[in-house]
Structure 1
Amino acid sequence: MLTTAGSDGAAAAALPVAGVSSLRYFNLYRLLIASVLVALVFGVPGEISFADYRGALFASAARGYWVFAVCVMLGADRLLPTDDARLTAGVLADIFFLTLLTYAGGGLSTGLPFMHVVVLAFAALVGQGRLAVFYAAVASLAMLFQQAMQWVTLGSDAGGFVHVGSISIGFFATAIAVRLLARRVIANESLARERGRDLAEQVRVNERVIRDMDDGVLVVDTLGHVRQANPQARRLLDPLMPRPVMLADYSPALAAAMAAQADPDRERVFVLDLPSRPAALRVRCVPAGGAGGHLVFIEDLARLREQARQIKLAALGRLTASMAHEIRNPLAAISQAAELLQEERRAETQARLTRIIGDNAQRLDRMVSDVLELGRRDRAEPELLELGSYVRTFVDEFAMREPGVRARVHIETGVPARIWFDRGHLHQVLWNLLGNALRFAGPDDGAVRLTVSATEDATLLDIVDNGPGVSDSARAHLFEPFFTTHSRGTGLGLYIARELSDANGAALDFVDNSPGAHFRLRGLNRSLDESWNGGGLSGS
């Protein structure tokens, strides 16, 4: 590579456009032009006719130019230490021989001066920095010297200097314009090379990520050709061919299922049963983009179930450890009270100890009942319920145990709102939320507000009390198991309520203090599998 001879910082390396091969093409062009001139002189002797033509000098110059071109092509310029030096020597030689040929041919009328333009353009494209302007300056001086010699020896018209000046301006304009163009080409080439490296690195990263994914991944074009596949896809689908090409080669059942799916421009999810696999596959087909095609993600449901089982076991382990800690306290109180009760003879103390035993036994019973209710989480049987009617019936049932509830609870319902929920789960969620609200609300009428509303795709139930609200330190732990701020609470109520809500595709969140605690249950108003079509509504 040539190195820059000037201060052109934007182009630090020489020959960036086409490298050393460009210099070889330059040398080949020189040999071609010299060969044409030699052929004209010696192939058709006497036919060249220019004004003031000096045949012997023209023939000698053409022959010398051809010999120089041949020597350069054979590698004689390798004697020079750098590519910059080789380029400069070649360009200066071109300027010398073309100027000599112009003088021998009779001056500007031969048209040979315009061949300098091609040489300067090549040099500006191949070279760097200020060399292009240097070459143009040398060519201009050479043409001025040639015209001066014509004027002195032949007495030619002095107006020729004006033509030489115009040609020299063209030399500089060509050199500068081609140099600017070459700089832009260099910058674009450098940017393209950098982008190419970044793209290649990104492709390698993507391939590594896809290869190491636990799920199978297929990249399928619009014609069904598989452009890319990771080892997991081969393991899950067990291709029919050693080197599958089409999606049908991987799995005819998958190809047929994808072809049968409506609206291919949207994401589609379906379950694929293959006779060769013990468990079904979950397939997610995502449009690849504007060019068409799809990304097919394949998940092994057996693996997902195993992962879910492991998560449940881990959660059960944590719950069991927490329960052991929570049960130990009331058991210790019961044991101590029972021992004291055996020794105590006073009726008043016996009554107090008996009450301690009864309260702690009830606490243990509630804890066991809550844990058993949590076990029903995975046995949800959701149905479409009219939430306003269900809430009214639930409050009436709750009031049978606590008569003052009817006055303390105010129910607000607007338009009919439906929710997709398991009836038993919803009963437990409302029981925990309402019991929690009544525990902290005041004794006033309407201390707890239950508001039922609906949006286009969800049904909302807001539970707001007029109590002191939730402290900032307690907000982060509201839904953690066994966290409670009440002395007689188990700390499982809100935790179980959220777990049961999640099992039904709903969300239970703490909204804010309004000024009392404000909880919101947000549930689906249609089936998880199909939109509600006006049927299947269950009353309360």
Structure 2
Amino acid sequence: MDVRAWELFDPAIAPVGEDLRPFLREALSRGARWFQADSASAFLAKGPGEFVLTAQFGGFPLPQGTTLKAGVAQAAIDAREPLLVGDPADHPRLRDSHVIRRLDVASAMILPLILPDGEAVGVINLARKAGELPYGPDDLGKASMMAGHFAMAVGLAIRTVAAAQLARREARSRHLAEIGRMTAVLAHEIRNPLAVIRAAAQFAKEEPEYIGTVIEEADRMEALLENFLDLSRPVELRPKSVNLPSLLTSL
């Protein structure tokens, strides 16, 4: 593996939480440095023949969420190897794709992100602005060696983010299930005081001492509700020093 490729697996740039974009931006910045690109962008697959701009670095900014329909991206995926593009009209894979050349771009390399199992997760576009030395066959050869490493790094990042999203959904499901169980318990605990209050209220007109029963049961219901609400409030931790041997002895 090219020593530079290890940088793509640096834990310092690994995705944190559910946002893939910071990792992609950092990976693009490193790729732009390696290939002396003025611009780098990552388009991830959204569906068959559809790629969405997910992160970008450097010049030639595009609106976030820009979608490519087939064209250059799909051509690189179909070729399963990086494409060197100057004028799309001169490229054998693009001359019939109606892709229009950008006059502010000297040349570009499109790296397909294809995982070892054959899944295509997107493409990376590296471009040099007009006036710069265009990419050549040597650059394309280096890109061919690096494309697989980019693919593995991006694929790993995608799976890391997906795992975080799954963990959040599972935690939410468990939380909702627990709330459901607590609600059932609360409903059961409230039903009995309500029955007592109703009966006491019926007798209260003739025997005033039942008013006390109503108040007691109302207080009991309020206490139940307060306990229930306590469970939904954030837990406030208050660390303090303890004598560990004494603590262990008391257990």
TMscore range, shorter length: 0.3 to 0.5
Per the normalisation by structure 1, the TM-score is 0.20
The one of the two structures with greater contact order (alpha-carbon pairs below 8 A, sep at least 6) is: 2
Q: TM-score, normalised by structure 2?
A: 0.38
* Structure ID, larger Rg: 1
Greater helix share, 1 or 2?
Answer: 1
